[in-house]
Amino acid sequence: MSDRNLCLWCEEPVTPSGVQQSPIPSQGADGSWELRLQHRECAARAILGGLNHLQGRCSCCGGTEPPDPPALSRRQAALAAFAWIQEHTVPPIPLCDPRRVRNLTNNFR
Ligand SMILES: [Zn+2]
Ligand SMILES: [Zn+2]
């Protein structure tokens, strides 16, 4: 069983103020299911793609780059992708109040 306090995407610790959303069902290597948390930036990255993908430079878009800039950690790459998304989305994606999200999270415990 993996550490539930580590982000499902980047595997760095998730603090209550950094939680994106309600826990996500995730299947572990042993086949068992558990609820995992994600940083909000990592959740956005997981759905929308990495910075190079967003900018049309990755191999799935006809380019030669990997989806995320290789020099960055998974967390850093998620932050970079999220910043790009915020900058290029009009209006910017509304962010949930972390206190509200935490209450939601508690319902699953
Ligand atoms: Zn993360
Ligand atoms: Zn792509």
Residue 79 CA, ligand 2 centroid: distance in Å: 18
pLDDT of residue 89: 78
State the distance from the centre of ligand 2 to the C-alpha of 57, rounded, in angstroms.
7
Predicted local confidence at residue 37, as pLDDT: 87
Ligand nearest to the CA of 43: 1
| Ligand 2 center–CA 47 separation, angstroms | 12
Ligand 2 geometric centre to CA of 1 (Å): 32
Nearest listed ligand to the Cα of residue 64: 2
Ligand of minimum distance to the alpha carbon of 75: 1
pLDDT of residue 9: 93
Per-residue pLDDT of the chain (109 residues; tens, 9 = 90+): 567 788 999 999 887 666 656 688 888 889 999 888 888 899 889 999 999 999 999 988 889 999 999 999 999 999 999 999 988 877 766 666 655 555 545 544 4
Q: Specify the pLDDT at position 98.
A: 58
Task: Please tell me the predicted confidence (pLDDT) of residue 109.
Answer: 41
The pLDDT of residue 86: 87
Cα 46 to ligand 1 centre (Å) = 10
Q: Which residues contact 69 (CB under 8 A, 6 or more apart)?
A: 50, 51, 52, 77, 80
Q: What is the pLDDT of residue 108?
A: 45
Quote the ligand 1 centre to 81 CA distance (angstroms): 12
